[in-house]
Amino acid sequence: MGYAIGSGKVERMASKKRASRWPLVLTLLLAAALLFLAFRGVNWRELIGTVQQARLGYLVLAIGIGSSSYWVRGLRWQVLVRAEKSVALATVFWAMMVGYLGNSFLPARAGEVIRAVMLGRTASLSKSFVLATALTERMLDVIALVLISLAAVLSLGGLPGWLVNAVKVMGALGLAGLLVVFAAPRLENPLRRSLTWLPLPPTLRVRLTNVMEQLLLGMRSFQHPGRALSFAGLTAVIWLADAMGAMVIAQALNLSLALPEALLLLAAMGLASAAPSTPGYVGIYQFVAVTVLAPFGFSRSAALAYILVLQATTYFVVTVWGVWGWWRLGVKGTTE
C-alpha cells in the first residue's frame, strides 16, 4: 500500500516535470523557426563584411548612451518605489541591472523576480510591492512602445498598409491600456467580485486574485500626478536615448537609420519581447529586424549584421553593470 502511494507521488512529480518542459521546448522551436526565416537566403559574405567594418569609436559612444539610458531607467523605477519608501538611486539601479542580467541569460523573464528580491532585501521593502512596481513599469513600457510606434508610423511614408493599420489598432489599445492603469485601482472591489463569479477552480481563483492585487498595488504607485508626470517624462528620455544609440550603431556600420525608423524598430523589438523567447531574445530580434528594416532599404544581410551588433552592445552593457550590481548588492552587501 505504501509502495503504491509512493509510486503515485513519483508519477505525479514526473508528470509535472514533463509538463514544465513543454514551454521550454515550444520556446526553442519558436526561436529556431524565426532564426531560419530570418537567415534564409542571407549573403554571409555581406553580413560578415558589414560587421567587420564596424567603427570602434561609434560603438564606444553607443555603450555610453546605453549606460546612461539604463541609469535613467533606474531613476524611473525609483519614482514608483518612492510611493512606499525613499531608496537611494544607486541601490535601485544596481538591483535593476541584476534583473536585466537575469533576463539576458535566464528564461521566462526571471530577472523581474530577481530584481524585486534584490531590492526588497537590500532596502527592507515588501518583495510583493517591489515586484508589483516592476510589473507596472513593464506594462507602462508596453503602452509607451505602442504609442511610440504609432507616432513613428504616422511620420513615415511608403510603409505597407497592413503595418500601418496594425499599428493604428495597437495605438488605440495602448490608449485604452493607459486608461485602465488609472482606473483599475479605483475598481478593486468590483474586480475582486468579478473573480468570485467566474466558474474557476479555487486554486486558480486564489492565484488570479494574488496577481490582480500585485498589479493594482503597482498601479497605485502611479496614481500620484507628480509621479505620473515624472514617469512619463523619464520614459520619453529613455526611448529617445535608446533611439540615438540605435542610430549611432547604424553609423558604426556605415548604415543609415533615421529617428522615426529607429523608434519603430525599438518599439517592434520591445513588443516582440513579450512573446515566449530564449534568453536575450535570440531568434525574435533577428526576425523583427529583417521584417522592420526591409522597407527602409536594408538588405537581409545588413539588417542581420545590424541587429547582431546591437544585441552584442546591449549584452556588453548589461553584463558589465549587472555583474557589478550583483557584487555590490549580493556579495559585498552580505559582508557589510
Q: Which amino acid is at 132?
A: A
Cα distance from N-terminal residue to C-terminal residue, the chain: 54
CA dihedral 318, 283, 152, 67 (to 10 degrees): 10
Cβ(328)–Cβ(97) below 8 Å: no
Task: For Cα atoms 214, 215, 219, give the angle at the middle one, nearest 5 degrees.
Answer: 120
Report d(CA 8, CA 5) in Å as an integer.
5
Please give the grid coordinates belonging to residue 25.
521546448
Report d(CA 265, CA 253) in Å as an integer.
17
Domain boundaries, the chain: 47-335
- Please list the pLDDT of the chain residue by residue as tens digits (336 residues): 555 555 554 455 444 454 456 666 777 788 888 889 999 989 999 999 999 999 999 999 999 999 999 999 999 999 989 888 899 999 999 999 999 999 888 876 788 889 989 999 999 888 888 888 888 888 888 888 888 888 888 888 777 777 777 777 777 877 787 777 778 777 778 877 787 787 878 887 787 777 777 777 777 777 778 888 999 999 999 999 999 999 999 999 999 999 999 999 998 888 887 766 677 788 889 999 999 998 889 999 999 999 999 999 999 999 999 999 999 987 655 545
Report d(CA 26, CA 290) in Å as an integer.
22
CA dihedral 245, 247, 251, 252 (to 10 degrees): 30
Query: What pLDDT was estimated at residue 108?
Result: 67
Q: Where are the alpha helices (DSSP H) in the chain?
A: 2-39, 44-52, 56-81, 89-105, 111-123, 127-155, 161-183, 188-197, 202-220, 225-252, 259-272, 284-293, 300-326, 332-335
Report d(CA 277, CA 107) in Å as an integer.
7
Q: Is the pTM of this model over 0.85?
A: no
CA dihedral 178, 236, 281, 212 (to 10 degrees): -30
